[in-house]
Protein backbone atom coordinates (compact mmCIF):
# COMPACT_ATOMS: atom_id res chain seq x y z
CA UNK A 1 0.00 0.00 0.00
CA UNK A 2 2.75 2.41 0.75
CA UNK A 3 4.26 1.93 -2.65
CA UNK A 4 1.03 2.99 -4.21
CA UNK A 5 0.97 6.09 -2.10
CA UNK A 6 4.31 7.14 -3.48
CA UNK A 7 3.49 6.89 -7.17
CA UNK A 8 5.48 9.46 -9.11
CA UNK A 9 3.72 12.14 -11.16
CA UNK A 10 5.18 10.62 -14.32
CA UNK A 11 3.82 7.19 -13.51
CA UNK A 12 0.44 8.64 -12.59
CA UNK A 13 0.37 10.56 -15.88
CA UNK A 14 1.17 7.40 -17.80
CA UNK A 15 -1.58 5.47 -16.03
CA UNK A 16 -4.04 8.27 -16.70
CA UNK A 17 -2.95 8.32 -20.33
CA UNK A 18 -3.69 4.62 -20.76
CA UNK A 19 -7.23 4.96 -19.42
CA UNK A 20 -7.96 8.21 -21.25
CA UNK A 21 -6.77 6.60 -24.49
CA UNK A 22 -8.93 3.51 -23.91
CA UNK A 23 -11.99 5.58 -23.03
CA UNK A 24 -11.49 7.73 -26.13
CA UNK A 25 -11.24 4.62 -28.32
CA UNK A 26 -14.34 3.05 -26.76
CA UNK A 27 -16.15 6.35 -27.08
CA UNK A 28 -15.22 6.60 -30.76
CA UNK A 29 -16.56 3.08 -31.20
CA UNK A 30 -19.78 3.98 -29.38
CA UNK A 31 -20.12 7.10 -31.51
CA UNK A 32 -19.51 5.11 -34.68
CA UNK A 33 -22.15 2.65 -33.51
CA UNK A 34 -24.71 5.43 -32.97
CA UNK A 35 -23.94 6.98 -36.35
CA UNK A 36 -24.16 3.62 -38.11
CA UNK A 37 -27.49 2.77 -36.48
CA UNK A 38 -28.98 6.16 -37.40
CA UNK A 39 -27.80 5.81 -41.00
CA UNK A 40 -28.89 2.20 -41.41
CA UNK A 41 -32.38 2.62 -39.94
CA UNK A 42 -35.43 4.71 -40.62
CA UNK A 43 -36.54 7.19 -37.96
CA UNK A 44 -39.19 4.73 -36.79
CA UNK A 45 -36.78 1.80 -36.50
CA UNK A 46 -34.15 4.04 -34.89
CA UNK A 47 -36.69 5.13 -32.27
CA UNK A 48 -37.43 1.44 -31.53
CA UNK A 49 -33.77 0.49 -31.24
CA UNK A 50 -32.99 3.55 -29.13
CA UNK A 51 -35.85 2.79 -26.75
CA UNK A 52 -34.79 -0.86 -26.36
CA UNK A 53 -31.21 0.10 -25.56
CA UNK A 54 -32.41 2.80 -23.16
CA UNK A 55 -34.49 0.32 -21.16
CA UNK A 56 -31.54 -2.08 -21.02
CA UNK A 57 -29.18 0.62 -19.80
CA UNK A 58 -31.60 1.80 -17.12
CA UNK A 59 -32.11 -1.79 -15.92
CA UNK A 60 -28.35 -2.32 -15.80
CA UNK A 61 -27.79 0.80 -13.75
CA UNK A 62 -30.54 -0.21 -11.35
CA UNK A 63 -29.12 -3.68 -10.93
CA UNK A 64 -25.46 -2.83 -10.32
CA UNK A 65 -26.53 -1.04 -7.11
CA UNK A 66 -23.19 0.78 -6.79
CA UNK A 67 -21.34 -2.47 -5.98
CA UNK A 68 -18.73 -2.09 -8.75
CA UNK A 69 -17.73 1.31 -7.27
CA UNK A 70 -17.15 -0.31 -3.89
CA UNK A 71 -14.15 -2.07 -5.46
CA UNK A 72 -12.14 1.17 -5.42
CA UNK A 73 -13.06 1.97 -1.83
CA UNK A 74 -12.45 -1.44 -0.27
CA UNK A 75 -9.45 -2.64 -2.29
CA UNK A 76 -7.56 0.14 -0.50
CA UNK A 77 -8.70 -1.27 2.86
CA UNK A 78 -8.23 -5.03 2.51
CA UNK A 79 -5.19 -7.25 2.15
CA UNK A 80 -4.21 -8.45 -1.31
CA UNK A 81 -5.18 -12.00 -0.40
CA UNK A 82 -8.69 -10.91 0.55
CA UNK A 83 -9.41 -9.34 -2.81
CA UNK A 84 -10.48 -12.53 -4.58
CA UNK A 85 -13.19 -13.22 -2.02
CA UNK A 86 -14.39 -9.63 -2.14
CA UNK A 87 -14.48 -9.67 -5.95
CA UNK A 88 -16.39 -12.98 -6.00
CA UNK A 89 -18.82 -11.61 -3.44
CA UNK A 90 -19.43 -8.60 -5.70
CA UNK A 91 -19.97 -10.74 -8.82
CA UNK A 92 -22.36 -13.06 -6.96
CA UNK A 93 -24.46 -10.11 -5.80
CA UNK A 94 -24.65 -8.74 -9.34
CA UNK A 95 -25.61 -12.12 -10.76
CA UNK A 96 -28.64 -12.11 -8.47
CA UNK A 97 -29.52 -8.48 -9.14
CA UNK A 98 -29.02 -9.00 -12.90
CA UNK A 99 -31.58 -11.79 -12.83
CA UNK A 100 -34.03 -9.52 -11.02
CA UNK A 101 -33.37 -6.78 -13.60
CA UNK A 102 -34.22 -9.21 -16.40
CA UNK A 103 -37.50 -10.03 -14.69
CA UNK A 104 -38.21 -6.31 -14.25
CA UNK A 105 -37.77 -5.74 -17.99
CA UNK A 106 -40.32 -8.49 -18.66
CA UNK A 107 -42.73 -6.77 -16.28
CA UNK A 108 -42.17 -3.36 -17.84
CA UNK A 109 -42.99 -4.86 -21.23
CA UNK A 110 -46.62 -5.23 -20.18
CA UNK A 111 -47.07 -1.48 -19.64
CA UNK A 112 -45.70 -0.25 -22.97
CA UNK A 113 -49.09 0.31 -24.71
CA UNK A 114 -50.27 2.65 -21.96
CA UNK A 115 -46.94 4.50 -21.69
CA UNK A 116 -46.37 5.09 -25.40
CA UNK A 117 -49.86 6.12 -26.43
CA UNK A 118 -48.44 8.55 -29.04
CA UNK A 119 -46.55 5.75 -30.82
CA UNK A 120 -47.93 3.61 -33.67
CA UNK A 121 -49.27 0.24 -32.58
CA UNK A 122 -46.84 -1.67 -34.82
CA UNK A 123 -43.84 0.01 -33.16
CA UNK A 124 -45.14 -0.99 -29.73
CA UNK A 125 -45.61 -4.60 -30.85
CA UNK A 126 -42.02 -4.74 -32.11
CA UNK A 127 -40.77 -3.31 -28.81
CA UNK A 128 -42.68 -5.97 -26.89
CA UNK A 129 -41.04 -8.63 -29.05
CA UNK A 130 -37.50 -7.35 -28.42
CA UNK A 131 -37.51 -6.50 -24.71
CA UNK A 132 -37.51 -10.17 -23.51
CA UNK A 133 -34.28 -10.69 -25.46
CA UNK A 134 -32.76 -7.63 -23.81
CA UNK A 135 -33.72 -9.15 -20.47
CA UNK A 136 -31.35 -12.03 -21.28
CA UNK A 137 -28.62 -9.54 -22.23
CA UNK A 138 -29.02 -7.82 -18.86
CA UNK A 139 -28.78 -11.07 -16.89
CA UNK A 140 -25.48 -11.97 -18.56
CA UNK A 141 -23.89 -8.51 -18.81
CA UNK A 142 -24.55 -7.09 -15.34
CA UNK A 143 -22.27 -9.55 -13.40
CA UNK A 144 -19.35 -8.49 -15.64
CA UNK A 145 -19.60 -4.82 -14.70
CA UNK A 146 -17.01 -4.84 -11.84
CA UNK A 147 -14.29 -6.25 -14.12
CA UNK A 148 -12.83 -2.91 -15.23
CA UNK A 149 -12.78 -1.55 -11.67
CA UNK A 150 -11.11 -4.71 -10.37
CA UNK A 151 -8.38 -4.31 -12.97
CA UNK A 152 -7.91 -0.61 -12.16
CA UNK A 153 -7.90 -1.15 -8.41
CA UNK A 154 -5.34 -3.95 -8.91
CA UNK A 155 -3.06 -1.47 -10.72
CA UNK A 156 -3.65 -3.17 -14.08
CA UNK A 157 -4.44 -0.09 -16.14
CA UNK A 158 -3.34 -1.62 -19.45
CA UNK A 159 -5.46 -4.71 -18.79
CA UNK A 160 -8.46 -2.49 -18.04
CA UNK A 161 -7.81 -0.55 -21.24
CA UNK A 162 -7.68 -3.67 -23.41
CA UNK A 163 -10.76 -5.11 -21.71
CA UNK A 164 -12.84 -2.00 -22.37
CA UNK A 165 -11.69 -1.68 -25.97
CA UNK A 166 -12.26 -5.35 -26.82
CA UNK A 167 -15.77 -5.46 -25.35
CA UNK A 168 -16.68 -2.28 -27.23
CA UNK A 169 -15.44 -3.74 -30.52
CA UNK A 170 -17.46 -6.92 -30.00
CA UNK A 171 -20.60 -4.96 -29.12
CA UNK A 172 -20.16 -2.79 -32.21
CA UNK A 173 -19.84 -5.80 -34.48
CA UNK A 174 -22.76 -7.58 -32.85
CA UNK A 175 -25.18 -4.69 -33.43
CA UNK A 176 -23.96 -3.03 -36.62
CA UNK A 177 -22.90 -5.99 -38.75
CA UNK A 178 -26.38 -7.59 -38.99
CA UNK A 179 -27.93 -4.21 -39.85
CA UNK A 180 -25.25 -3.51 -42.47
CA UNK A 181 -25.93 -6.91 -44.07
CA UNK A 182 -29.64 -6.13 -44.24
CA UNK A 183 -30.90 -8.61 -41.64
CA UNK A 184 -33.04 -6.11 -39.73
CA UNK A 185 -33.69 -5.33 -36.07
CA UNK A 186 -34.56 -8.83 -34.84
CA UNK A 187 -31.29 -10.43 -35.93
CA UNK A 188 -29.37 -7.46 -34.48
CA UNK A 189 -31.01 -7.99 -31.09
CA UNK A 190 -30.24 -11.73 -31.20
CA UNK A 191 -26.66 -10.82 -32.03
CA UNK A 192 -26.52 -8.70 -28.87
CA UNK A 193 -27.54 -11.79 -26.92
CA UNK A 194 -24.51 -13.54 -28.41
CA UNK A 195 -22.30 -10.61 -27.39
CA UNK A 196 -23.52 -10.88 -23.80
CA UNK A 197 -22.63 -14.58 -23.69
CA UNK A 198 -19.09 -13.86 -24.94
CA UNK A 199 -18.66 -11.01 -22.47
CA UNK A 200 -19.84 -13.09 -19.51
CA UNK A 201 -17.62 -16.08 -20.25
CA UNK A 202 -14.59 -13.92 -21.05
CA UNK A 203 -14.95 -11.76 -17.96
CA UNK A 204 -15.27 -14.68 -15.58
CA UNK A 205 -12.21 -16.33 -17.14
CA UNK A 206 -10.20 -13.08 -16.82
CA UNK A 207 -11.09 -12.63 -13.15
CA UNK A 208 -10.10 -16.23 -12.50
CA UNK A 209 -6.65 -15.49 -13.94
CA UNK A 210 -5.82 -12.16 -12.30
CA UNK A 211 -7.17 -12.63 -8.78
CA UNK A 212 -5.24 -14.47 -6.05
CA UNK A 213 -6.17 -18.14 -5.72
CA UNK A 214 -7.40 -20.31 -2.83
CA UNK A 215 -9.33 -17.56 -1.05
CA UNK A 216 -12.75 -18.33 0.41
CA UNK A 217 -15.68 -16.04 -0.29
CA UNK A 218 -16.68 -15.88 3.37
CA UNK A 219 -15.47 -17.45 6.57
CA UNK A 220 -17.12 -20.36 8.30
CA UNK A 221 -19.34 -18.10 10.34
CA UNK A 222 -20.40 -15.95 7.40
CA UNK A 223 -19.15 -12.83 9.16
CA UNK A 224 -16.45 -10.24 8.75
CA UNK A 225 -13.15 -11.45 10.06
CA UNK A 226 -11.64 -9.05 12.55
CA UNK A 227 -7.98 -9.80 11.78
CA UNK A 228 -6.14 -6.71 10.66
CA UNK A 229 -2.58 -5.92 9.72
CA UNK A 230 -0.74 -2.66 10.07
CA UNK A 231 -0.05 -0.83 6.83
CA UNK A 232 3.66 -0.14 6.33
CA UNK A 233 2.93 3.57 6.22
CA UNK A 234 1.56 3.39 9.73
CA UNK A 235 -1.46 5.51 8.89
CA UNK A 236 -4.21 2.96 8.68
CA UNK A 237 -4.93 -0.75 8.90
CA UNK A 238 -5.95 -3.35 6.37
CA UNK A 239 -8.77 -5.83 6.90
CA UNK A 240 -8.94 -9.45 5.82
CA UNK A 241 -12.56 -9.41 4.75
CA UNK A 242 -15.43 -7.02 4.22
CA UNK A 243 -18.87 -8.22 5.17
CA UNK A 244 -21.77 -8.06 2.76
CA UNK A 245 -23.50 -5.66 5.16
CA UNK A 246 -20.57 -3.22 5.19
CA UNK A 247 -20.30 -3.40 1.41
CA UNK A 248 -24.02 -2.78 1.04
CA UNK A 249 -23.95 0.24 3.37
CA UNK A 250 -21.30 1.85 1.19
CA UNK A 251 -22.63 0.71 -2.18
CA UNK A 252 -26.39 1.19 -1.98
CA UNK A 253 -26.30 5.01 -1.83
CA UNK A 254 -24.02 4.90 -4.88
CA UNK A 255 -26.36 2.43 -6.53
CA UNK A 256 -29.35 4.65 -5.88
CA UNK A 257 -27.34 7.59 -7.15
CA UNK A 258 -26.42 5.71 -10.31
CA UNK A 259 -30.05 4.73 -10.78
CA UNK A 260 -31.24 8.27 -10.33
CA UNK A 261 -28.37 9.46 -12.53
CA UNK A 262 -29.50 7.13 -15.30
CA UNK A 263 -33.01 8.45 -14.95
CA UNK A 264 -31.46 11.92 -15.16
CA UNK A 265 -29.85 10.90 -18.43
CA UNK A 266 -33.09 9.58 -19.84
CA UNK A 267 -35.84 11.49 -18.05
CA UNK A 268 -35.85 14.19 -20.73
CA UNK A 269 -36.17 11.49 -23.39
CA UNK A 270 -39.04 9.91 -21.45
CA UNK A 271 -40.73 13.31 -21.29
CA UNK A 272 -40.31 13.76 -25.05
CA UNK A 273 -41.67 10.25 -25.72
CA UNK A 274 -44.77 10.98 -23.62
CA UNK A 275 -45.63 14.47 -24.88
CA UNK A 276 -44.30 14.43 -28.46
CA UNK A 277 -44.47 12.13 -31.48
CA UNK A 278 -41.95 9.35 -32.19
CA UNK A 279 -40.12 11.39 -34.87
CA UNK A 280 -39.49 14.13 -32.29
CA UNK A 281 -38.12 11.44 -29.99
CA UNK A 282 -35.71 10.36 -32.75
CA UNK A 283 -34.56 13.98 -33.25
CA UNK A 284 -34.07 14.51 -29.53
CA UNK A 285 -32.17 11.22 -29.25
CA UNK A 286 -29.66 12.67 -31.70
CA UNK A 287 -29.57 16.05 -29.95
CA UNK A 288 -29.43 14.94 -26.30
CA UNK A 289 -25.91 13.58 -26.34
CA UNK A 290 -22.93 15.22 -24.75
CA UNK A 291 -20.05 14.97 -27.19
CA UNK A 292 -18.61 11.64 -26.02
CA UNK A 293 -14.98 12.41 -26.82
CA UNK A 294 -15.16 15.29 -24.35
CA UNK A 295 -17.11 13.84 -21.43
CA UNK A 296 -14.96 10.71 -21.31
CA UNK A 297 -11.88 12.66 -20.20
CA UNK A 298 -12.97 13.72 -16.67
CA UNK A 299 -14.47 10.28 -16.05
CA UNK A 300 -11.26 8.54 -17.08
CA UNK A 301 -9.08 10.85 -15.02
CA UNK A 302 -11.39 10.42 -12.03
CA UNK A 303 -11.19 6.62 -12.25
CA UNK A 304 -7.41 6.83 -11.92
CA UNK A 305 -7.24 9.53 -9.23
CA UNK A 306 -9.99 8.25 -6.93
CA UNK A 307 -7.65 5.79 -5.20
CA UNK A 308 -5.15 8.61 -4.62
CA UNK A 309 -7.89 10.84 -3.16
CA UNK A 310 -8.82 8.07 -0.76
CA UNK A 311 -5.21 7.48 0.29
CA UNK A 312 -4.63 11.18 1.03
CA UNK A 313 -7.89 11.39 3.00
CA UNK A 314 -7.12 8.25 5.01
CA UNK A 315 -3.70 9.69 5.83
CA UNK A 316 -5.14 13.17 6.64
CA UNK A 317 -3.06 14.81 3.90
CA UNK A 318 -5.57 17.56 3.11
CA UNK A 319 -3.12 19.87 1.35
CA UNK A 320 -1.89 17.10 -0.94
CA UNK A 321 -5.48 16.09 -1.71
CA UNK A 322 -6.48 19.66 -2.62
CA UNK A 323 -3.37 20.11 -4.75
CA UNK A 324 -4.08 16.90 -6.70
CA UNK A 325 -7.76 17.87 -7.04
CA UNK A 326 -6.89 21.30 -8.46
CA UNK A 327 -4.22 19.92 -10.74
CA UNK A 328 -6.57 17.30 -12.19
CA UNK A 329 -9.26 19.92 -12.84
CA UNK A 330 -6.81 22.32 -14.51
CA UNK A 331 -5.48 19.65 -16.85
CA UNK A 332 -8.98 18.46 -17.77
CA UNK A 333 -10.18 22.06 -18.29
CA UNK A 334 -7.46 22.63 -20.88
CA UNK A 335 -9.08 19.91 -23.00
CA UNK A 336 -12.77 19.90 -22.11
CA UNK A 337 -13.60 23.62 -22.30
CA UNK A 338 -12.13 24.43 -25.75
CA UNK A 339 -13.48 21.21 -27.25
CA UNK A 340 -16.97 21.97 -25.90
CA UNK A 341 -16.96 25.42 -27.46
CA UNK A 342 -15.64 24.01 -30.74
CA UNK A 343 -18.31 21.32 -31.05
CA UNK A 344 -21.04 23.78 -30.09
CA UNK A 345 -19.82 26.01 -32.91
CA UNK A 346 -19.78 23.11 -35.39
CA UNK A 347 -23.13 21.63 -34.35
CA UNK A 348 -24.93 22.24 -37.70
CA UNK A 349 -22.13 20.68 -39.71
CA UNK A 350 -21.66 17.77 -37.30
CA UNK A 351 -25.32 16.78 -37.32
CA UNK A 352 -25.54 17.10 -41.10
CA UNK A 353 -22.40 15.04 -41.67
CA UNK A 354 -22.93 12.38 -39.03
CA UNK A 355 -26.64 11.70 -39.03
CA UNK A 356 -28.40 13.00 -42.13
CA UNK A 357 -29.01 10.92 -45.24
CA UNK A 358 -30.92 11.66 -48.42
CA UNK A 359 -34.49 12.47 -47.49
CA UNK A 360 -33.85 12.31 -43.72
CA UNK A 361 -33.12 15.62 -41.97
CA UNK A 362 -32.15 16.22 -38.35
CA UNK A 363 -31.96 20.02 -38.63
CA UNK A 364 -34.38 20.37 -35.69
CA UNK A 365 -31.76 18.71 -33.48
CA UNK A 366 -29.09 21.43 -33.92
CA UNK A 367 -30.19 23.99 -31.30
CA UNK A 368 -31.12 21.35 -28.68
CA UNK A 369 -27.71 19.75 -29.28
CA UNK A 370 -25.95 23.09 -28.66
CA UNK A 371 -27.90 23.79 -25.47
CA UNK A 372 -27.45 20.24 -24.18
CA UNK A 373 -23.69 20.27 -24.71
CA UNK A 374 -23.19 23.46 -22.74
CA UNK A 375 -23.62 21.14 -19.74
CA UNK A 376 -20.17 19.75 -20.54
CA UNK A 377 -18.58 23.06 -19.47
CA UNK A 378 -19.12 22.07 -15.84
CA UNK A 379 -17.80 18.53 -16.36
CA UNK A 380 -14.18 19.43 -15.65
CA UNK A 381 -13.89 16.73 -13.00
CA UNK A 382 -15.66 13.66 -11.70
CA UNK A 383 -17.33 15.19 -8.63
CA UNK A 384 -18.52 11.85 -7.29
CA UNK A 385 -14.92 10.64 -6.86
CA UNK A 386 -14.10 13.29 -4.26
CA UNK A 387 -17.34 12.63 -2.36
CA UNK A 388 -16.55 8.90 -2.36
CA UNK A 389 -13.06 9.65 -1.05
CA UNK A 390 -14.70 11.23 2.00
CA UNK A 391 -17.12 8.31 2.30
CA UNK A 392 -20.03 10.60 1.43
CA UNK A 393 -21.98 8.22 -0.78
CA UNK A 394 -25.21 9.65 0.62
CA UNK A 395 -24.19 13.01 -0.85
CA UNK A 396 -23.70 11.42 -4.27
CA UNK A 397 -27.23 10.02 -4.05
CA UNK A 398 -28.75 13.28 -2.79
CA UNK A 399 -27.42 15.35 -5.69
CA UNK A 400 -28.53 12.79 -8.25
CA UNK A 401 -32.02 12.92 -6.75
CA UNK A 402 -31.98 16.71 -6.64
CA UNK A 403 -31.01 16.88 -10.30
CA UNK A 404 -33.78 14.47 -11.28
CA UNK A 405 -36.41 16.54 -9.47
CA UNK A 406 -35.18 19.81 -10.96
CA UNK A 407 -35.05 18.29 -14.44
CA UNK A 408 -38.64 17.04 -14.27
CA UNK A 409 -39.97 20.31 -12.83
CA UNK A 410 -38.33 22.37 -15.56
CA UNK A 411 -38.44 20.06 -18.58
CA UNK A 412 -42.12 19.02 -18.53
CA UNK A 413 -43.65 22.50 -19.02
CA UNK A 414 -40.83 23.64 -21.31
CA UNK A 415 -41.30 20.55 -23.52
CA UNK A 416 -45.05 21.15 -23.76
CA UNK A 417 -44.60 24.79 -24.80
CA UNK A 418 -41.30 24.80 -26.74
CA UNK A 419 -40.82 21.23 -27.96
CA UNK A 420 -37.38 19.60 -27.87
CA UNK A 421 -35.64 22.99 -27.59
CA UNK A 422 -37.45 23.54 -24.28
CA UNK A 423 -36.46 20.05 -23.12
CA UNK A 424 -32.77 20.75 -23.70
CA UNK A 425 -32.95 24.18 -22.04
CA UNK A 426 -34.72 22.78 -18.98
CA UNK A 427 -32.06 20.08 -18.65
CA UNK A 428 -29.26 22.66 -18.90
CA UNK A 429 -30.75 24.93 -16.20
CA UNK A 430 -31.35 21.96 -13.88
CA UNK A 431 -27.70 20.86 -14.21
CA UNK A 432 -26.35 24.34 -13.45
CA UNK A 433 -28.55 24.66 -10.35
CA UNK A 434 -27.47 21.25 -9.04
CA UNK A 435 -23.82 22.00 -9.77
CA UNK A 436 -23.81 25.03 -7.48
CA UNK A 437 -25.29 22.99 -4.63
CA UNK A 438 -22.77 20.22 -5.26
CA UNK A 439 -19.85 22.62 -4.93
CA UNK A 440 -21.16 23.69 -1.51
CA UNK A 441 -21.28 20.06 -0.36
CA UNK A 442 -17.74 19.34 -1.51
CA UNK A 443 -16.62 22.56 0.15
CA UNK A 444 -17.84 21.33 3.55
CA UNK A 445 -15.61 18.25 3.26
CA UNK A 446 -12.58 20.18 2.06
CA UNK A 447 -13.20 23.05 4.52
CA UNK A 448 -13.44 25.56 1.68
CA UNK A 449 -16.07 28.09 0.55
CA UNK A 450 -17.84 26.85 -2.57
CA UNK A 451 -16.12 29.43 -4.81
CA UNK A 452 -12.74 27.89 -3.93
CA UNK A 453 -13.73 24.26 -4.54
CA UNK A 454 -12.69 24.65 -8.18
CA UNK A 455 -9.70 26.68 -9.45
CA UNK A 456 -12.09 29.28 -10.92
CA UNK A 457 -9.42 31.84 -11.96
CA UNK A 458 -7.75 29.23 -14.17
CA UNK A 459 -11.14 27.93 -15.37
CA UNK A 460 -12.26 31.47 -16.27
CA UNK A 461 -9.12 32.14 -18.32
CA UNK A 462 -9.55 28.95 -20.33
CA UNK A 463 -13.25 29.66 -20.90
CA UNK A 464 -12.64 33.27 -21.98
CA UNK A 465 -9.92 32.23 -24.42
CA UNK A 466 -12.04 29.42 -25.86
CA UNK A 467 -15.11 31.62 -26.33
CA UNK A 468 -13.04 34.39 -27.92
CA UNK A 469 -11.53 32.02 -30.47
CA UNK A 470 -14.97 30.47 -30.99
CA UNK A 471 -16.50 33.86 -31.88
CA UNK A 472 -13.70 34.52 -34.34
CA UNK A 473 -14.21 31.13 -36.00
CA UNK A 474 -17.99 31.67 -36.08
CA UNK A 475 -17.49 34.79 -38.20
CA UNK A 476 -15.08 32.88 -40.45
CA UNK A 477 -17.60 30.06 -40.86
CA UNK A 478 -20.55 32.32 -41.55
CA UNK A 479 -18.87 34.69 -44.01
CA UNK A 480 -16.04 32.73 -45.64
CA UNK A 481 -17.02 29.07 -45.44
CA UNK A 482 -20.80 29.31 -45.70
CA UNK A 483 -21.07 27.07 -48.79
CA UNK A 484 -18.36 24.58 -47.87
CA UNK A 485 -19.10 20.83 -47.67
CA UNK A 486 -19.78 19.97 -43.98
CA UNK A 487 -16.83 17.59 -43.62
CA UNK A 488 -14.37 20.13 -45.03
CA UNK A 489 -15.81 22.86 -42.82
CA UNK A 490 -15.44 20.65 -39.74
CA UNK A 491 -11.82 19.76 -40.52
CA UNK A 492 -10.67 23.25 -41.53
CA UNK A 493 -12.35 25.11 -38.64
CA UNK A 494 -11.21 22.52 -36.09
CA UNK A 495 -7.61 22.72 -37.29
CA UNK A 496 -7.44 26.52 -37.22
CA UNK A 497 -9.30 26.72 -33.89
CA UNK A 498 -7.00 24.25 -32.15
CA UNK A 499 -3.81 25.78 -33.55
CA UNK A 500 -4.83 29.25 -32.36
CA UNK A 501 -5.88 27.83 -28.98
CA UNK A 502 -2.60 25.98 -28.39
CA UNK A 503 -0.42 28.92 -29.48
CA UNK A 504 -2.41 31.43 -27.41
CA UNK A 505 -2.45 29.13 -24.36
CA UNK A 506 1.32 28.70 -24.49
CA UNK A 507 1.80 32.45 -24.93
CA UNK A 508 -0.32 33.44 -21.90
CA UNK A 509 0.96 30.55 -19.77
CA UNK A 510 -2.13 28.35 -19.54
CA UNK A 511 -0.24 25.41 -21.04
CA UNK A 512 3.00 24.84 -19.13
CA UNK A 513 6.12 23.08 -20.36
CA UNK A 514 5.08 20.07 -18.28
CA UNK A 515 1.69 20.05 -20.01
CA UNK A 516 3.36 20.30 -23.41
CA UNK A 517 5.63 17.37 -22.59
CA UNK A 518 2.63 15.34 -21.49
CA UNK A 519 0.74 16.19 -24.68
CA UNK A 520 3.66 15.04 -26.83
CA UNK A 521 4.00 11.87 -24.76
CA UNK A 522 0.31 11.05 -25.12
CA UNK A 523 0.38 11.88 -28.83
CA UNK A 524 3.18 9.34 -29.22
CA UNK A 525 1.22 6.73 -27.19
CA UNK A 526 4.32 6.12 -25.09
CA UNK A 527 2.16 4.91 -22.19
CA UNK A 528 1.12 1.86 -24.22
CA UNK A 529 4.68 0.59 -24.62
3-state class (DSSP) for residue 296:
helix
Alpha carbons 291 and 296: distance in angstroms, whole number: 9
β-partners of residue 239 are 78, 228
Q: Please give the model's pTM, rounded to 2 decimal places.
A: 0.65
* Helix or strand (DSSP H, E) at 239: strand 237-239
For residue 292, give the nearest of 252, 242, 246, 343 by alpha carbon.
343
Please count the residues of the chain: 529
How many H-runs (helices) and E-runs (strands) does the chain carry?
Answer: 21, 2
- Domain range list for the chain: 1-212, 277-529
3-state class (DSSP) for residue 211:
coil
Using only C-alpha atoms, the chain has a radius of gyration, in whole angstroms, of 23
Distances (CA, A) of 243 to 93, 237, 354: 12, 16, 49
For residue 126, give the nearest of 210, 42, 195 by alpha carbon.
42
Whether residue 149 contacts residue 75, with contact meaning beta carbons closer than 8 Å, is answered with no
Torsion over CA: 72, 76, 80, 81 (sign):
negative
Whether residue 366 contacts residue 348, with contact meaning beta carbons closer than 8 Å, is answered with yes
Distances (CA, A) of 524 to 14, 25, 84, 527: 12, 15, 36, 8
Alpha carbons 352 and 487: distance in angstroms, whole number: 9
For residue 406, give the nearest of 437, 429, 380, 436 by alpha carbon.
429
Torsion over CA: 504, 508, 510, 511 (sign):
positive
3-state class (DSSP) for residue 238:
strand
Alpha carbons 5 and 308: distance in angstroms, whole number: 7
pLDDT digits (tens), the chain, 529 positions: 333 444 444 455 555 666 667 777 887 887 788 778 878 887 788 888 888 888 888 888 778 877 887 777 777 667 777 777 788 888 888 999 899 999 988 888 888 777 777 777 788 888 888 888 989 998 999 999 888 888 877 778 778 888 888 998 999 999 889 888 888 888 989 999 999 999 999 998 888 887 766 444 443 333 333 334 444 444 445 556 677 777 777 777 777 776 777 677 778 887 887 887 777 777 887 777 777 667 777 877 777 777 778 778 777 788 888 888 888 888 889 888 999 999 899 888 888 887 766 667 778 888 988 998 898 899 888 888 888 788 787 887 888 888 889 988 998 898 888 888 898 899 899 999 999 999 999 988 888 888 888 999 999 999 999 999 999 998 888 877 666 777 888 888 989 999 999 899 888 888 777 766 666 665 555 545 5
Amino acid sequence: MSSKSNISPTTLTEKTGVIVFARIITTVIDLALAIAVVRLLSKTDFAIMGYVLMIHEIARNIAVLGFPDSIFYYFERITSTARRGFALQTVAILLISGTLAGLAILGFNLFLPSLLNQWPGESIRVLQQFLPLMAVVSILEIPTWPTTNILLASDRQKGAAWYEMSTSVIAFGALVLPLALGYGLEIAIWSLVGYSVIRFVGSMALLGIILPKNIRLIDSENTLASNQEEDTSGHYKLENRISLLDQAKFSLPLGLSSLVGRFNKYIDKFIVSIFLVNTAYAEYSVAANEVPLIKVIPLAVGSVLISRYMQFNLQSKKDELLSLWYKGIEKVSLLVIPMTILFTLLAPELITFLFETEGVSYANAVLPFQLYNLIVLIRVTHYGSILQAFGDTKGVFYFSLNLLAANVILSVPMTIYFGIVGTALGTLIANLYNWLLLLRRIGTHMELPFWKVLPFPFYGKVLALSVGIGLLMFMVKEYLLMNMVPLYAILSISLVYLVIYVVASRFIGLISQEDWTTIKSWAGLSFLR
